Amino acid sequence: MSPVKKANQQTPGIRTLGAIDIGSNSIRMAIAQAMPDGRIEILERLQRGVRLGQDTFRTGRIRGTTMRATVLILRDFMNVLKLYNADVVKVVATSAAREAVNSDAFLDRILMATGLEVDIISSSDESRLTVAAVRQEVGRKQLAKQSSVIVEVGGGNTEINILRKGQIAASRNLAIGSIRLQELLSTSTQSADRASDMIRQQVAGIISSMKGLLRLGQVRSFYAVGGDARWAAEQVGKRTKISNLRSVSRRDLDKLVSKCRHYTADKLSRIYGLPFSEAETLIPALLVYQVLLKSTGAREIIVSNVSMRDGLLLDLAQQAVGSVEESAYEDIIRSATSIAEKYGVDLKHAIHTRQTSVRLFDELAAEHSLDKRYRLLLEVAALLHEVGSFVSGRAYHKHSFYLITNSEISGLTQDELQLVAHIARYHRRSRPKPAHIEYMALPRERRLTINKLAALLRVADALDASRTQHVRNISCRINDEYLQIITPTTADISLEERMLAMLGDLFEDIYGLQVRLERD
Amino acid sequence: MGRQKDIKSPKLLINREASWLEFNNRVLQEGFRDNLPLAERLKFLSIVSSNLDEYFMIRVAGLMQQHMDDPRTLDPSGMTARAQLDMINKRVHKMVAEQTAGIKDVFGQLARNGFHVLSRADWNNEQTAFLRQHFNNEILPVLTPVAIEGLNPAPVLPGLQLFVAFSVSMGKARTKIVAVPVPGFFQRFVNIPTEGDTFVTPVEEVIAANAQTLFRDGRIVSAAYFRITRDADVSIQEDEAADLLSTIARAVRERRRRSAVRLEISAGAEPRMKRWLTKFLQLGAPDVYEVDGLLGASSIMQLVDLLPSEELKSPDWPEQPARDLSDSDDIWTTIKEKDVLLFHPYETFEPVMKLVDEAANDPNVLAIKQTLYRTSGKSPLVQSLAAAARNGKEVTVLVELKARFDESRNVNWALELEDAGCHVIYGIARLKTHAKAMLIIRREQGRIKRYAHLSTGNYNDRTAKLYSDIGLMTCNPDITADVAAFFNLLTGQSETVGWKQLTIAPTNLRQRFLDLIEREIQASTPGDRGLIMAKLNALQDPAICRALYRASQAGVRVKLNIRGICVLRPGIKKISDNIEVRSILDRYLEHSRIYYFRNGGHEEIYLSSADWMRRNLDRRLEILFPVLDGRAKARVRNMLETFFDDNVQSWQLLPDGTYKRISPRGRKIHAQEKFYQDAVNAASAARHIKTRFRPLSRPGK
């Protein structure tokens, strides 16, 4: 028999994606295929317990044995991915890795042993991804009907997202997590009843301190994601009109909790066939849901089967298909604009610069060959390039750099935010130099991208040097030597011309073209 | 709550051994049925013996062990191990006598039909001379007598081996017992060439008659036949086994020397010989079974092939093409259009093997995953899987080494598959993988499509001709996702992540059944009674029995069709008066497991690899899967009704634990025959459809 070649034909549009999430209790993976219409079909879900949270939340660092276990699991997962010839694989880690003092060593270890690059994502990213996944499952319209909250009690943290009219109105990440609470339980000598009262009180205390902020009382729909909530729904849940959602009434949740809270983790795992690691944190998690539910106006918990990983898959699918979902795009721009506002930048200038840089980005697509995602990052950088002047007018580009680095723009990853900060930093004065430590710490490819984008931003900024927004409706002509920017304006543009002569330097080096501003 | 207490009484459960003995008795009774062809009767009488062999090796051995370790423990029906052993002994002695009489009766009738099974006393001179010649030429060169008396250490006499024992007087010395193993590679019956009628005689009689040449220095005083059954309940300490493969190989070797649990010896054996063997094997008097006929009667099955006339046999039921498939269509397309239900052996097992073979050679297939448990010798499946791996596909095979009596055979395929590049898993620690599942991952125009085959029967093309099983091919995404998750669980690549359609033992299969029964109780009203129908091989789990009693008390009708053990007592007032238990024994071994729940009109039908036994629910990996496709569901529903309508091969369980044959009133309904006829009709209808004329258009157009 002659060996048959493995199929590898690809049809444009359909992509196989893998999303791995290194959480505090377990590592999970979802494999899916993204259809050209953006639909996602889940192929497999995998899960293996590894207790990063126990390490981080108890001792602050991830132990060697836990790292080894993580690597072994990731290798197994990669074998499953291999079956499907996955096109894109994204690995993210959440609070347990984020908060560990040795998180860099942990990520290096994974990279060395598996070749997988892990992104540590911020809690705001977690929120955004979870909300996106729930929004997809519940439906935009349904979610916009009434004020809702989306809650995930994780091992380390509890994510609370308040939605009004379907948009995120407030997000809070509370340091109450089932593993942290379970730690508390296991060290206390109290009876099960006293211990659960203790947890209730602690959770209630934290929540009441931010009542004004979250206005939980107005919430009418309570959505829960996560394994513990799913377990509760399997036990006492009722089907809802939306096929994958189940609801658990206050009463049923109370009954379930009072039935189970006397069980030891061992017994829970035996009776319900749960992995021990899950059984251990089940009761603390349910107690948190119980307290939260009571402080809202909702009568039941609606349990969704989706998770942050599904949000991640949506992201990957959108990237793979090459489009940013409209509302996610708007969320990012809105969020960047409100940060710019907060720091009192000249918004007219910022918005104009954004428009000009986008124009340049599109005109020069063939030269820089960067994808749409970078167009968005350039827009954000243009909106934020002057935020540093809030601190001081002197060398404000440097202040912009750290202010952006420390901002949270939900929808952007930590890496992307860094990129934005660098682009903004180099919009004036010095070009990137080997003496700039943060810049040199980046891989070569990243540095090149920064140069490409910062060059555009410098030109765009120069084109509004007078802050009058006179240079508008530009068109471009490119030949072997020049980039001609043509504007129909009749106003005085001498300042712009002079600034362009100064700031066009980087552009000339990177794109090999001199920039000329001409009237139509 | 008096009721609750009632259903927990041990008296409400039939002893499992008693129920098994009843089962084997039903097999035996088939051997006496005048209206069955003689060949069929021979088969049933043969099965009585092979059943008993396995039963002694496993169950009796286990009870003996339990009696030693833990004599006071009571089984769910309230009996000690000793009490059960006594009951078994008593019953089996009677059973063996009956079986012997049955065989004699069949032999007598065969003789009237020109087929003579002769014993030594029947031989005429001519025949005696032929057999002496035959002995000298064919048998003598391979005989190895073993002196068993007075040797230290005593030689090991392997289990299930037929021996001819001689008491030999050596000159002036005492007589000695010498055993001659009857070589296993001989046919059990020697054909004596004659014009006209057929004459055969058991090979051990030929040896006994001519053995004097073996003992030049001694004189044969007497001869007898005997056969030992040994404990084969090997439990492998997996945690200690660094290398499972070699451990299993060793365990199989050791099985030869495990303690004896039964001695069968020919009636009329010299008392001294019998006493000596009993003592040598450390058995008690009740463990010795005197047989006034053939020992190891399972080999009378070999006679079926020797029968000269087709009239003595049942009409052949050739397997039919599957009605849900046609040769011309692409199998992938067919499965995408609808679920494919396969009803073996009425419908051929071929498509299952073809599916794997096509997958192995299909460039679009990325991966194949499959469980193998009791696969046949040179299984085409094993060859296809190996080919798939050589073709660069990811092939994962779970070979269950712990499949009883098949361990050593399984080791061989496992190595063969590994050599080909398959990822082979040797079972799961402490659990036997009994589930039958296959998954194929295929890329079609860039899109991943998955196909699953799930079945109630093993991936064994040989038993698929004898066992009645149902298989399902589907690409329902919920089911294929669950099957993928099942394999991730098996390979240790993932923990359970929540099942969409399948239920898995030992995780929560029992709970699932209890929930389904409970739901039926809740949905049942006097005006609209609930209905549970189940067809399975054995019901032994006490929790399920009690749930069914509760269902009966709540007015749910419960119809069970259980081939083998059933410890539930039906028809007890206020406990189980709504429960009816039937049992079908027929030419094909009833092996499918079907579970039906009326669910207030939203009927649900499931198929499974699992019976309602503790071992299935606690110590095995099993799958319960729903039949979702409307057509397939209706078909399985019909099958179920046919099983319960049968009045030709069915028995009814009575409250006292015994069974009564159902006698046809009115029209005779023979389930297996009907299934065969249905398959034939469907196939001929399909052939009819195929011969369609296709007008050609003008050439050159």
| Residue A5, pLDDT above cutoff 50 | no
Distance CA A196, CA A346 (A): 53
For residue A9, pLDDT over 70 is answered with no
Q: What is the dihedral sign for C-alpha B60, B61, B62, B65?
A: positive
Q: Which amino acid is at B1?
A: M
User: Tokens standing for A433?
Assistant: 């130099």
DSSP state of B568: B
Q: What is the mean pLDDT of residues B265-285?
A: 92
Distance CA B695, CA B2 (A): 77
Given a cut of 90, whether residue B88 has pLDDT beyond it is yes
pLDDT grade, residue B237 (50/70/90)? very low
- Asked if B363 lies within 8 A of A85 by C-beta distance, the reply is no
Asked whether the beta carbons of residue B495 and residue A273 sit closer than 8 angstroms, the reply is: no
Closest by Cβ to A85, choosing from B366, B477, B497 = B366
How far away is chain B from the Cα of A37, in angstroms, using its nearest Cα?
13
Distances (CA, A) of A206 to A158, A261, A292: 11, 22, 10
Q: Which two tokens stand for residue A9?
A: 């034909």
- The answer to which of A345-349, B95-99, B184-188, B557-561 has the lowest mean pLDDT is B184-188
> What is the structure's pLDDT at B1?
39
Question: Two tokens at A252?
Answer: 């049923």
- pLDDT computed for residue B245 by the predictor: 60
Phi-psi region of A395 (alpha: psi -120 to 50; beta: other; left: phi over 0): left
Interface mutation vs chain A, best among B495, B510, B515, most A CBs within 10 Å: B495
Say whether residue A80 is in contact with chain B using an 8 A CB cutoff: yes
The reply to whether residue B362 touches residue A44, judged by beta carbons under 8 angstroms, is no
Mean pLDDT, to the nearest integer, of B75-85?
94
Q: Which residue is closest to B392 within chain A, CA to CA?
A: A6
Q: For the CA atoms of A337, A343, A345, A351, what is the dihedral angle to 10 degrees?
A: -10
Give me the residue from B364, B391, B485 closest to A44, CB to CB.
B485
DSSP H helix total and E strand total for chain A: 23, 15
Comparing CB atoms, the residue among A6, A47, A77 nearest residue B497 is A47
Give B-chain residues touching A305 at CB under 8 angstroms: 498
Q: How is the beta sheet containing A475-478 ordered, strand by strand? A: A475-478, A482-487, A514-519
pLDDT surpasses 90 at B358: yes
DSSP state of B699: T
The CB-side HSE value for B322 (13 A sphere, CA atoms) comes to 26
- pLDDT for residue B234: 59
B3 pLDDT above the threshold of 60: no
Residue B82, H or E segment:
helix B81-112
Q: Tell whether A5 is within 8 A of chain B (Cβ).
A: yes
**Which residues of B are the active-site residues?**
434
| Chain A partners within 8 Å of B498 (Cβ) | 45, 230, 234, 305
Q: What is the pLDDT of residues B443-480, one digit of tens each?
A: 998 889 999 999 999 888 888 899 999 999 999 999 99
Stretch (H or E) spanning A194 = helix A192-209
* Residue B159 vs residue B632, higher pLDDT: B632
Per-residue model confidence (pLDDT) at position B406: 60
Residue A321, pLDDT score: 60
pLDDT at B239: 44
CA-nearest residue of chain B to A77? Answer: B493
Residues of A in contact with B507 (CB under 8 A): 273
Beta strand ranges found along B363-435 (DSSP E)? 365-372, 394-399, 423-425, 432-433
Q: Do A84 and B484 touch (CB under 8 A)?
A: no
pLDDT over 60 at B4, yes or no: no
Per DSSP, B557 falls in state E
Residue A404: pLDDT above 70? yes
Q: Does the CB of A321 have a partner CB in chain B at under 8 Å?
A: no
Give the distance between the most distant pair of CA atoms in chain B.
105
Q: Round to whole Å and give the CA distance between B490 and B479.
A: 16
pLDDT digits (tens, 9 = 90+) for B90-105: 999 999 999 999 999 9
Share of chain B above pLDDT 70, in %: 91
User: In chain B, what residues touch A82 (CB-CB under 8 Å)?
Assistant: 394
CA-CA distances (angstroms) from residue B610 to B322, B426, B591?
A: 24, 20, 10
The minimum CA-CA distance between A176 and chain B, rounded to whole Å, is: 25
Work out the angle between the directed axes of helices B81-112 and B61-69 (0-180°, nearest 10).
160
Across the interface, of A13, A41, A76, the residue whose CB is closest to B493 is A76
Q: How far is CA A104 from CA A57, A438, B139, in A?
A: 17, 16, 78
Closest Cβ opposite residue B392 in set A3, A44, A45: A3
**Exposure letters B275-294 (e unless 16+ CB within 10 A, then b):** ebbbebbebeeebbbbbebb
Predicted complex: ipTM over 0.90: no
Structure tokens at B403: 């499949």
Helix, strand, or coil (residue B621): strand
pLDDT of B493-545, one tens digit each?
888 777 889 999 888 899 899 999 999 999 999 999 999 999 999 999 999 99
Residue A398 CB-half CA count within 13 A: 9
pLDDT digits (tens, 9 = 90+) for A452-482: 999 999 999 999 999 999 898 898 998 888 9
Q: Would you call A78 an interface residue with chain B, using a CB distance cutoff of 8 Å?
A: no
Nearest CA distance, A162 vs chain B (angstrom):
28
Q: Does the pLDDT value for residue B624 go beyond 50?
A: yes
At residue A190 the predicted structure's pLDDT band, cuts being 50, 70 and 90, is low
Q: Is B676 left (phi over 0), alpha (psi -120 to 50) or beta?
A: alpha
pLDDT surpassing 70 at residue A188: no
The terminus-to-terminus CA distance of chain A in angstroms comes to: 71
Please indicate whether, in this complex, the C-beta atoms of A7 and B363 are within 8 angstroms of each other.
yes
> Among A17-31, A156-170, A418-432, B607-621, whose mean pLDDT is lowest?
A156-170
What pLDDT shows up at residue A274? 78
Query: Taking the CA of residue A44 as centre, how many other CA atoms within 13 Å lie in the half-sphere pointing to its CB?
Result: 34
Task: Answer whether A16 touches B (CB < 8 Å).
Answer: yes
Of A367, A283, A380, nearest in space to A334 by CA: A380
Interface test with A, best of B448, B491, B515 (most A CBs within 10 A): B448
* Pairwise CA distance, residues B377 & B460, whole Å: 9
B217 falls in which pLDDT band (50, 70, 90)? confident
pLDDT of residue A6: 36
| Residue B593, amino acid | R
How many CB contacts within 8 angstroms connect chain A with chain B? 95
Local confidence band at A166 (pLDDT 50, 70, 90 cut-offs): confident
Output phi, psi for A483, to 5 deg. Answer: -105, 115
Give the B-side interface with A, CB within 8 Å: 361-367, 387, 390-394, 441, 443, 445-448, 450, 477, 481, 484-485, 488, 491-498, 507-508
Mean pLDDT to the nearest integer, B545-563? 97
Helices (H), A215-325: 227-236, 250-260, 265-272, 276-294, 308-321
Check if the beta carbon of residue A222 is closer than 8 Å to that of residue A298: yes
Of A140 and B356, the one with more pLDDT: B356
With vertex at residue A82, the alpha carbon angle to CA A76 and CA A84, rounded to the nearest 5 degrees, is 125
Beta bridge partners of A93: A22, A120
Q: Are A507 and A513 within 8 A, CB to CB?
A: yes
Using the beta-carbon criterion (under 8 Å), do A45 and B485 form an inter-chain contact? yes
Q: Looking at chain A, which residue has its C-alpha nearest residue B366?
A: A83
pTM of the shown model: 0.80
Q: Is residue A243 within 8 angstroms of chain B, CB to CB?
A: no
* Rounded Cα distance, A98 and A121, in Å: 8
C-alpha pair distances (Å), B60 with each of A275, B45, B75, B231, B266: 37, 21, 14, 8, 21
Instruction: For residue A276, give every residue at least 6 positions away whose Cβ sits within 8 Å of its Cβ, in sequence order, or none.
Output: A49, A265, A266, A269
Q: CA–CA distance from B500 to each of A19, A45, B485, B611, B624 (Å)?
A: 20, 12, 10, 22, 12
Q: Which residue has the higher pLDDT, A271 or B613?
A: B613
- CA distances for A181 relative to A198, A286, B569, angstroms: 10, 11, 50
Q: Counting beta carbons within 10 angstroms of the beta carbon of residue B589, is it exposed (0 to 12), middle (13 to 18) or buried (19 or more)?
A: middle
What is the nearest CA distance from B494 to chain A, expressed in angstroms?
A: 5
Q: List the single residue in A4, A230, A272 with the smallest CB-CB distance to B363.
A: A4
> Residue range B257-267: average pLDDT?
89
Averaged confidence pLDDT in chain A: 86
Which residues numbered 264-283 in A keep a CB inside 8 Å of some CB on B? 272-273, 275
**Contact residues for B216 (Cβ-Cβ < 8 A; gap 6+):** none
Average pLDDT over residues B213-224: 88
CA distance A344 to B363: 62
Residues of chain A found within 8 Å of residue B494, distances taken between Cβ atoms:
45-48, 80
**Distance of alpha carbon A496 from alpha carbon A498, whole angstroms:** 5
> Is the CB of B392 less than 8 angstroms away from the CB of A85?
no
Res. B408: pLDDT tops 70? no
Instruction: Name chain B contacts of A275, Cβ cutoff 8 Å.
Output: 495-496
